[in-house]
Amino acid sequence: MHKPYQTYYLVIALWSLAILSSCRQHASTQNTYKPNAYADTAHVSQLIARAGKIENADTKLLLPIIQQLYHINIHTGNKKALVYAEIFQSTYFWQSANHSQAMQIAIKALEDAERWKINQPLPHIYRIIANLHKENGNYIMANSTADKGLNAAKLHHDTTGLIEMLGLKAMFTHTYYLKIKRPQDDLTSLKLQFEGLKIAESSNAYEKLRIRFYNNIAQNYKDQKAYDKTLYYTDKAITLANKYNQLRSLTYSYCWLGEALYYMGQHNKGLAYLNQALAITRKINEPYRQMEVYESMYACYLYNHNYEQALMASNKVASMRDSLQMVKSVRQTADMQLKYEAVKKDQQILLLNQSEKTKNLTIITVLVSSVIFLGLSIVLIFQYFIIRRKNKAIRNKNKILNEALLKIAHIQSHEVRKPLASILGLMNVFKAHNYEVGKDELLMVETSTQELDEKIRDIILATESKSHGDEQ
């Protein structure tokens, strides 16, 4: 007989199988990438920290660190080492004024960071790319990239990246209005600088990040001819730049301080600071920054009507600009990022289409599995109730049959006793006469035996008749 609990377990098993099948199908649509086990993680972190301290000082010192990071990546598969090696190599080429090479490697770093889900350095990478656009005069791309870096910092709760990108946005805004000779229209950059500085001053952990804000605020006040405030903020910047050995930052501090002093009438003192800035740019091998210092000198000489020195400084700027191939670099750096973003957009569209197809297939699979399961469940439940009803009917019939047979047996047992009692009585008579039996006595035994046989046959027939009647 079919047992009800077996049907129950079968239904549960089928339901579990359907769920498991759907889950497996859905899981196959997810990103199954698992990052490699990072070997030499502590060593990589030490190298990154060391490079972070010197990338704004002397970029030549970055080269051995870059080589070590690449070496670790090649031998261990450490993707973090690869991304940071590309970041610092891009920084080296950027500050060496090789903008095309710097942009190419920065785009590669961005691609690798996004591919391997290494999110921490994203603002750093966007900062390099944005600066490359800015130094090539492409402020539209510079601001667009800075916005991406700002969004990445917010998304990943990167306070350091947020501070850096706020400072960058403010600086781009200010220099853009200077470039188009409309500084009076700049109503936002100084506010952004102070917002970033407020965050940087909220913790000693961000003390080094304050340098950029002190320098940028000093530049802003210098352009507004608020020279006392320029001196105040350059002094704060110089103190921290010396503390953290930020030589590149010192070139900005000395430059704004030198210009402010020159415009205040302290020409020799102002030029001394500008020459200090120039010497540092040569020491750390930053030709683009060197060109910018010559531009500051040109502005000072022109302000004092020293046309001979102004012409010499202007020729230096023109010569360096030509040697750096700035016009060609503008096109190359912009094209590289635009191509990368176009390819990335195409990949996203392709992945979106694939994801949509996979999602639709998953939905169809789940629906079909659910319909099949529902159909099987209905069939099994229906079968369960049919079997249950039949089993109940059989039990009832068996009960009635048993009761009827008991009644028949009870009635017939008394009928059987009569011939049997006669036979037993005759046997006692035979025994009393020492088994000397006459013909009459034997006939009586035969009659009683036949009567007993008939009674037994009647019982069998009655039982079979009752059984067949119940089955019908």
Render pLDDT for 163-220 as a digit per residue (tens, 0 to 9): 999 999 999 999 999 889 888 888 899 999 999 999 999 999 999 999 999 999 999 9
The CB-side HSE value for 343 (13 A sphere, CA atoms) comes to: 8
H/E run at residue 247: helix 247-263
CA–CA separation, 190 vs 170, rounded Å? Answer: 7
pLDDT at 107: 94
- Mean pLDDT, residues 302-324: 91
CA–CA separation, 222 vs 342, rounded Å? Answer: 41
- Tell me which of 25-34, 49-58, 246-255, 384-393 is least confident: 25-34
pLDDT at 208: 95
pTM of the predicted model, to two decimals? 0.64
Residue 171, amino acid:
M
- Mean pLDDT, residues 293-320: 95
Residue with tokens 């035994």: 445
36 pLDDT tier (thresholds 50, 70, 90)? very low
CA–CA separation, 303 vs 137, rounded Å? Answer: 24
Residue 91, token pair as written in the block? 């920084």
Residue that wins the pLDDT comparison between 370 and 128 = 128
pLDDT at 378: 86
Using an 8 Å Cβ cutoff, are 404 and 466 in contact? yes
- Mean pLDDT, residues 438-449: 72
- Mean pLDDT, residues 321-333: 61
pLDDT digits (tens, 9 = 90+) for 330-363: 555 556 665 666 556 655 555 565 666 677 777 8
Residues 6+ away with beta carbon under 8 Å from 335: none
Using an 8 Å Cβ cutoff, are 88 and 69 in contact? yes
Residues 6+ away with beta carbon under 8 Å from 273: 254, 255, 257, 258, 261
225-324: in CATH 3.90.650.10:
no
* Residue 468 CA from chain centroid, whole number: 75
pLDDT at 265: 97
Residue that wins the pLDDT comparison between 278 and 29 = 278
- Mean pLDDT, residues 405-417: 62
Please measure the distance between the N-terminal and C-terminal CA atoms of the chain and give it in whole angstroms: 21
CA–CA separation, 224 vs 232, rounded Å? Answer: 14
- Mean pLDDT, residues 392-406: 74
pLDDT at 94: 93
Residues 6+ away with beta carbon under 8 Å from 401: 466, 467, 470
Residue boundaries of the structural domains of the chain: 225-324, 352-471
- Tell me which of 101-110, 131-140, 389-398 is least confident: 389-398
111 pLDDT above the threshold of 80: yes
Residue that wins the pLDDT comparison between 231 and 435 = 231
| Residue (of 389, 397, 398) closest to 2 by Cα position | 389
pLDDT at 28: 43
pLDDT at 200: 96
51 pLDDT above the threshold of 50: yes
pLDDT at 136: 86
286 pLDDT above the threshold of 60: yes
Number of Cβ within 10 Å of residue 328's Cβ equals 12
CA–CA separation, 130 vs 337, rounded Å? Answer: 10
